[in-house]
Chains A and B, each alone.
Chain A
Amino acid sequence: MRHGRQASPELSPPARSRPELSPPARPRPARPRRSRAVREATLGYLFVLPALAVFGVFVFYPFAENFRLALYQTPPYPGLPSRYVGLHQIGQVLTSSGFLQSLGSTLLFVVMVVPAGLLIGLLLAVAAHRRLRAMSVYRVIFSSTVVTSVAVSALVFGTLMDPVVGLLPWLGLNPSPPILQNTTWALPAIAVMSVWQFLGLSFVVMSAGLSAVPEEVLEAARVDGASERTVFWRVTVPLLSPTIFFGLVVATIYAFQTFGQVDILIGSSSAAFEHVNLLVYDILNTIEVAKTSGQAAVLSLALFLLTLGVTLLQLRLVERRVHYAA
């Protein structure tokens, strides 16, 4: 079947799946073919090069540099050479109270934002998943926070929570010190804002998952006499589980990378700052204020490992799903 394509051991998937469509063998003189292959390869490298250059300089090099920087201690005065301290600095940073507090706040923040964001998104998606009047209006409204940036969201919620012009005080929620300077309430306040901002993405993802659930299956369950609640929990949710896992990963990474909310609403001068010093904010502070790149590199690697863990978890779940489907 494939004798005509012997020069191309690497067939791409569509061609492989339809081998009968490949053209009949056309013997050609060897030299032009090789030169054509060289030209094609050159073109391939040329096409890949621009993206590869950007990745090399701004993704892989700085990523690898973290491992080197982590071994060097930044000198106390600028101008002095940095000192090789081996793994000492890594242990020092990872056991410091500052890092542990930052990690604790970050994990707490994840717990506050992720389940709430996903659940509300799922609820709205289920409610809007019917071909009924005005549904498209609701859909646009629910997905609207996808386009609101972190700066916009922070300004909006900063105003709502303002002790003077805000809405919260009027509703009777006016803790003292004000909510965003309050060591107890600042983190939950940031979390509420983040759930709102994440809701749009959560809704969009859940809706897409729902529309991939075959309607016949649901209809069959209903015909068999299953109540709406049973259909939802026993049919829809299991079929939706890949989407929910995907949303879980996206939400967790979103929460790990939170920065703008803290920068705009709290800031390092706030009394509540130590309790809202999320990991990325800590990294930036270490770079810009403390100017200790070695410590910042250790923190960056910690953030990387956290993200990697979540991503690997997703890969494993997807793998299991593939086995299940096969």
Chain B
Amino acid sequence: MQPDSRNASGERRSRRGSRRRWRLTARYALLTIGAVVVLAPLYLTFVSSLLPPSALAERPPPFFPLDPQWHDYAVAWSQGDLGVYLRNSAIQTGIIVCGQLVTSVLAGYAFAFLRFPLRRALFVVFLATLMIPFEVTLVTNTQTISELGWYNTFAGLTVPFLATGVGTFLLRQAFLQIPRDLREAASLDGYGHLRFLLRIAVPLARPALAALGVFSFLAAWNQYLWPLVVTGSGNGVRTVQIGLKLLQGTEVSRTDVALAGTVIAVLPLLVLLVVCQKQLVRSLTAGAVK
């Protein structure tokens, strides 16, 4: 990249080369230190989850499980009800992701393609939801849920999150990218709005849909405060995040089991990160770079 050939003297070139090599080494050193620091907590958790309880307090701590105890995972799964929690999380996350995609597609389409009175005012109302953090609405929402009889149900877990201002905004922007002529051509071909939406607009907005889907998945799966407030013991809709708290709370002596549960809970998302990194980054930075 650097125009080395411009340097007349070879000695200067080699000095410059060695300096650059030093820079490169420094860069990799910094990166590696960073990577170790970032990864260490999760890696140590993984290792500890495979240690027999007696080895947990060993110092220096074992950095590699020589005798992996996979049965901790079985214990966490059965005794810690982790299987049930994971199932509940999957249902809760599935409902929220599907709900958000549907409501955002419909509202985003309306704001991009349909003309109706108060459209702008309603769009501002949608954006206004971004200014109100969910924590601020907690007082009344908990009452609403119990008045509806939704305490400890999937409805209580998911319905408050079935719509999203960010998602609507994201899809409206994506729909606005679709050329108007396409809509007009489709309408000459006899396509109504519904058919145009399903056959043309949604397929064209696939990148935005993917980004929103990944983002909702991440946010829903990792929810902590709301599931804690609206679920309790009994008929079991508790999600895995709350399960982790309980696993830690009840099994004081079984740190390894709690750690096994932690690994199981984070695993689906690490897979998501590696597989859908592009969509994830796109959705997380939707507001950063316009």
Contact = CB atoms under 8 A, between A and B. Distances in A.
A41 interface: yes
Contacts of B177: 14
Which of A23, A43, A150, A208 has the most B CB atoms < 10 Å from its CB? Answer: A43
Contacts of B56: 165
Interface in B117-142: 117, 119-120, 122, 125-126, 129, 131-133, 135-142
A140 B114 CA distance: 41
Contacts of B131: 307-308, 311
A65 B42 contact: no
Interface string B22-42: 011001001100110011011
A217 interface: no
Interface residues of B, number: 99
Contact of B262 (A156, A228, A296): A156
B8 interface: no
A143 B282 CA distance: 13
Contacts of A138: 31, 34-35
Interface in B20-76: 23-24, 27, 30-31, 34-35, 38-39, 41-42, 44-45, 48, 56-57, 59-61
Q: Chain B interface mostly helix, strand, loop or mixed?
A: helix
Interface string A1-37: 0000000101011110000011100000000000001
Given A12-B176, A167-B44, A151 B245 contact: yes
Contacts of A147: 218, 222, 266, 269-270, 272-273, 280
B163 A62 contact: no
B116 A307 contact: no
B255 interface: yes
A22 B41 CA distance: 59
A259 interface: yes
Contacts of A50: 102-103, 106-107, 162-163
Interface string A156-178: 11111010110100100000000
Contacts of A170: 59-61
B27 A130 contact: yes
Interface in A180-232: 196, 199, 201, 204-205, 207-209, 212, 222, 228
Contacts of A22: 180
A119 interface: no
A6 B228 CA distance: 54
Contacts of A264: 244-245, 248
Contacts of A150: 222, 224, 241
Given A147-B269, A159-B45, A300 B104 contact: no
Contacts of B143: 293
A307 B134 CA distance: 11
The bracket for how many chain A residues form the interface is: 35 or more
Contacts of B27: 127, 130, 132
B221 interface: yes
A159 B259 contact: yes
A237 interface: no
A84 interface: no
Contact of A296 (B38, B59, B139, B248): B139
Interface stretch (A53-61, A96-104, A109-117): A53-61
A259 B144 contact: no
A142 B34 contact: yes
Contacts of A304: 132-133, 136
Interface of B: 2, 23-24, 27, 30-31, 34-35, 38-39, 41-42, 44-45, 48, 56-57, 59-61, 102-104, 106-107, 109-117, 119-120, 122, 125-126, 129, 131-133, 135-144, 159-160, 162-165, 168, 176-177, 179-181, 184, 193, 218, 221-222, 224-225, 228-229, 241-242, 244-245, 248, 255, 258-259, 261-262, 265-266, 269-270, 272-274, 277, 280-281, 284-285, 287-289
16 contacts: A15-B180, A50-B107, A50-B162, A54-B103, A54-B159, A65-B139, A143-B281, A147-B273, A155-B261, A156-B44, A160-B41, A199-B38, A257-B135, A264-B245, A280-B225, A293-B143
Interface of A: 8, 10, 12-15, 21-23, 37, 40-48, 50-55, 57-63, 65-66, 69, 120, 123-124, 127-128, 130, 132, 138-153, 155-160, 162, 164-165, 167, 170, 196, 199, 201, 204-205, 207-209, 212, 222, 228, 242-243, 246-247, 253, 256-257, 259-260, 263-264, 280, 283-284, 287-288, 293, 296-297, 300-301, 303-304, 307-308, 311
